[in-house]
Amino acid sequence: MARVLIIESSARQQDSISRQMTQQFISQWKVAHPADQITVRDLAINPVPHLDANLLGGWMKPAEQRSTLEQASLDRSNELTDELLAADVLVMAAPMYNFAIPSTLKAWLDHVLRAGVTFKYTATGPQGLLTDKRAFVLTARGGIHAGGSTDHQEPYLRQVMGFIGIHDVTFIHAEGVNLGGDFQEKGLNQAKALLAQVA
């Protein structure tokens, strides 16, 4: 049995393309891997706090020196990190907002990129510790951005995933979904076809 962690980050609960992609992924995965355990963390419904002084204090201080707020922030951050550590497969659903990822997803990444937990520093540089995992990134873009200078999603997410040791990363883009007409239909159909090959 494998554990699948799905991170939803679209601010929209209805009519969200990235959420539709997630549902297709889940449906197919359940058919292909019925014994697997799927956990969904929805960052729109339960936002993750951005980094603040309490969390930094919780990370940096020994337990006996932490305030109540620092300990609470650390406990919440540990919950997020533990979910990722337990997962065999990570799925991030990420609509493109202003050429990049939603701030809620960035906040989640800031919690789980943890020195000594998901990566470590060595004499030859940082080393990712999550080398036994694979990831899928499902994106929805209003325009056409893949491979261009306006795509600050895929390069960034490949960088941070590789930094923590996840190099098996598959990106599936639904492009041009706000352009209407043939562009939208083509983008959705291409994404659905690629998703159909995943499981």
The 10 Å Cβ neighbour count of residue 73 is 23
Which pLDDT value is given to residue 142? 62
HSE, side-chain direction, 13 A CA sphere, residue 172: 25
Which pLDDT value is given to residue 181? 74
Which pLDDT value is given to residue 194? 84
User: Which one is predicted more confidently, 125 or 181?
Assistant: 125
CA dist 67 and 48 (Å) reads 20
Mode of pairing for the β-strands spanning 89-95 and 134-140: parallel
Which pLDDT value is given to residue 176? 67
* Token pair of 81 as six digits: 């990190």
Q: Is the pLDDT of residue 54 over 80?
A: yes
Amino acid type, 145:
H
Q: Which CATH number describes the domain made up of 3-195?
A: 3.40.50.360
Residue-wise pLDDT tens digits, 173-192: 887 666 777 767 787 788 78
Query: What's the rounded mean pLDDT across residues 122-128?
Result: 96
Mean pLDDT of the chain: 92
Residue-wise pLDDT tens digits, 76-122: 999 999 999 999 999 999 998 999 999 999 999 999 999 999 999 99
Collapse the DSSP code of 97 into the 3-class scheme (helix H, G, I; strand E, B; otherwise coil) and give the result.
strand
Which pLDDT value is given to residue 86? 98
Whether residue 101 contacts residue 156, with contact meaning beta carbons closer than 8 Å, is answered with yes
Rounded percentage of the chain residues whose pLDDT exceeds 90 = 75
